Amino acid sequence: MTNKWSKAGLAAGALALLLLAGCRQDMHDQPKYIPLRESRFFADGQSARQPVEHAVARGHLQADKYFYTGKIGDGFGNDLPQGLLKEGYGLKDLLHRGQGRFNIYCAPCHAQIGNGNGAVALRGFQKMPASFHDPRLKAQNLGYFFDVMTNGFGAMLNYKAQIPPEDRWAIAAYIRALQLSQDATLADVPESEREHIKDPMTSKPGSPAPAKAEPKKGGAH
């Protein structure tokens, strides 16, 4: 009796496996069109359908053209888009955000001070990255840097997939701050803030530079 039921159980199990295998194979072989396969169902012979004309995907309306392109007409703008700075998020916050994104995405090639001597360049990259302190780039508007990050330029690929638009603007603003920092003088600092600047010789705000030590007479040279 035991052997009889054992054989029946094995037979039922084998049948179930065959049925399951058949179902799985049917799923593999289900009728469908793969990309670019032709079709006789549609008049144009293509299985894929074109998007409905003028349709816009949710979240991709991009009504603010300047925010998404950096352009005003055919030229590049030099202002931050409206709404980028808001209550609780001012210019200082934007520059701090731009510095962080710059150090992640831009500094490997352009270096943290933007002179083009980043780690990639120092390790043999054939074309030296541009220095943001070059007069040509210092004369460019903010929208230009936004456009280069969006669409790429020369050997530089675009970063629109990695960096959202608001962060591209933050980086552009930080690039301008880097450019100003390299040529800044005391005259560029408001008088009310000058007393807080540390003297490079003393590291103390507003302290006079220490007197230079007089060389000893008769010593060895």
- Predicted confidence (pLDDT) per residue in 10-49, tens digit: 777 777 766 666 555 666 677 788 888 898 888 999 998 8
Within a domain: 1: no
Q: What is the number of structural domains in the chain?
A: 1
Nearest partner of 146 among 175, 117, 114, 116, judged by Cα: 175
Average per-residue pLDDT in the chain? 84
Asked if residue 179 lies in contact with residue 132, where contact means CB atoms within 8 angstroms, the answer is: yes
What whole-number distance in Å separates Cα of residue 214 and Cα of residue 194? 30
Within a domain: 71: yes
Within a domain: 36: no
| pLDDT for residue 22 | 55
CATH of residue 151's domain is 1.10.760.10
Token digits of residue 127 = 């074309």
Within a domain: 89: yes
Least confident of 67-71, 102-106, 206-210: 206-210
As a whole-number percent, the residues of the chain with pLDDT over 70 amount to 80
Residue 134 lies in domain: 65-188
Q: 82-140, pLDDT tens digit by residue?
A: 999 999 999 999 999 999 999 999 999 999 999 999 998 888 877 889 999 999 999 99
| pLDDT for residue 119 | 92
| pLDDT for residue 209 | 44
Q: Which residues pair with 89 in a beta bridge?
A: 86
What whole-number distance in Å separates Cα of residue 27 and Cα of residue 22? 9
C-alpha triplet 91, 73, 165: angle, nearest 5°: 40
Within a domain: 175: yes
pLDDT at position 217 over 50: no
pLDDT at position 160 over 70: yes
Query: Looking only at Cα atoms, what is the longest distance across the chain?
Result: 120
Mean of pLDDT values over 59-85: 94
Within a domain: 127: yes
Within a domain: 116: yes
| pLDDT for residue 110 | 95
| pLDDT for residue 204 | 53
Within a domain: 50: no
